Structure 1
């Protein structure tokens, strides 16, 4: 019947489109310029490696020059650069963007804000310094990078994708009051930026990792770590590579209609 012929044609068309999409998926960031803050280690380093393997050019920015250079030396391909960045300083952020544009004649169109700090303390024992350091690095740093990246992309008419790192603590966690505040702000900020910058073709999303196997978890006691794992349905911590895979997806055109949202990656916690 005509209906069956149409259905067969539709199925073949869908199958072809899915095949094409899967073939193109690995090249969705090919040739793009990505800035990754906190790229000297942890999730930031693995994200740099993952994006470079997919063909992106990487600017590894970190407060630690040696760590940034180590990351660059581990990357696939060439045309990458390392640079010292203090995300708490708007002047440092401006200088980094000037250096990037000078080298590549373009601002980065993939931005990943991985620079962060996590300090475990009872709320009544937190000092002003503990509060301020987490707010400066986690929140102000994300704001400065995102703001200047958007400004530079809009100035030359480029579209792009920004991925910010929030946390499951954005919903509030004990022993992490200041950290929760700093990450809750990142989550709300990312949604607001996504709404406002969509008119320029710039997407902004955040991700909320649960406990991930990085140096940020080193201060956690064995008992606390055991208790954390017991509450995770998958009964393990996440791996940096798993987070980097999500970041790559959100940075690429595979996620072209995802904007202003926060994606959890927490093993079901």
Structure 2
């Protein structure tokens, strides 16, 4: 347990050391929550409690939750399942491992962390679970059949859990971002960026904090009666889905 007096809810953000995950962690911490993040290679900045965890390993997931519970002296009350990977490729060139490993990291890993978090939430009779999907999960994208399948799967997973856990005041929602300005997109050329933004009605990419704002809303009191929802934060790219 930390030396500070317990204040705020205990929050865990997977993949929270950079990009969207870090923005979510910072936004929730700024709101007074006690925030922990998981990471694989790069530890989070100072001020956030970090736990190294490969979310494709059930034992590591359990150990990460145990470390967070010990550090903060309680169970996770808000889970943001954000960790994910891509291994793009056209279908005929995509190996079975390319397909299976992306589903494992993006979809099955959300099952692992959600199942572990739900144990404490069910006992407490409250909780917020937020899963990070993508506009690609609804629209599809050539060369991303594995990624799109994993992100679409989160919707069915979340909506089933919303029905399963709702009577215990646990909400389960999905955020579906469009293109976001992160380290990954910073490496793209001007022509590549222009091609991406040309199909977005708002004609730009999102900032990570714009995704974090919606996550913070879903984790907050104003979203207490929202569950099983898919919230697009995509500049209009996926409207109608």
Name 1:249's counterpart in structure 2: 217
Aligned pair partner of 1:92 in 51, 55, 60: 60
Following superposition, the deviation at residue 214 of structure 1 comes to 1.5
Residue 112 of structure 2 corresponds to residue 135 of structure 1: no
Task: Select which of 36, 39, 42 maps to 1:62.
Answer: 39
Consecutive unaligned residues of structure 2, counting only runs of 5 or more, are 1-6
1:169 match: 136
SS in structure 1 at match of 2:225: coil
TM-score by length of 2: 0.90
Whether contact under 8 Å (2:83, 2:106) holds in the other structure is yes
1:25 maps to what in 2?
A: none
Given candidates 28, 44, 49, the residue that maps to 1:51 is: 28
DSSP 3-state at the match of 1:101? helix
Alignment map for 1:107-256 (pairs within 5 Å): 107-154=75-122, 156-171=123-138, 172-217=140-185, 222-256=190-224
CA drift of 1:218 comes to 5.5
Separation of aligned partners in 1, 2:127 and 2:72 = 16
3-state SS of 1:231 partner: coil
Q: For residue 220 of structure 1, report the CA deviation from its aligned partner.
A: 5.4
Alignment match, 2:4: none
Using the alignment, how far apart are the partners of 1:108 and 1:217 within structure 2? 32
Q: Corresponding residue for 2:17?
A: 40
Contact 1:33–1:109 (CA under 8 A) maintained in structure 2: yes
Unaligned ranges ≥5, structure 1:
1-29
Q: Cα distance, 1:49 vs. partner?
A: 0.8
Q: In structure 2, what is the Cα distance between the partners aligned to 1:97 and 1:250? A: 22
Q: Secondary structure at the match of 2:8?
A: coil
- Taking the aligned partners of 2:167 and 2:136, their CA distance within structure 1 comes to 30
How far off is 1:224 after superposition?
4.1
C-alpha RMSD of the superposition: 1.6
**What is the number of equivalent residue pairs in this alignment?**
230
Deviation at 1:124, TM superposition (A): 1.8
Q: Is the 8 A contact 1:165 1:206 kept in 2?
A: yes
CA distance in 1, matches of 2:145, 2:31: 37
Moved segments of 4+, more than 6 Å: none
| 2:83/2:105 contact within 8 Å kept | yes
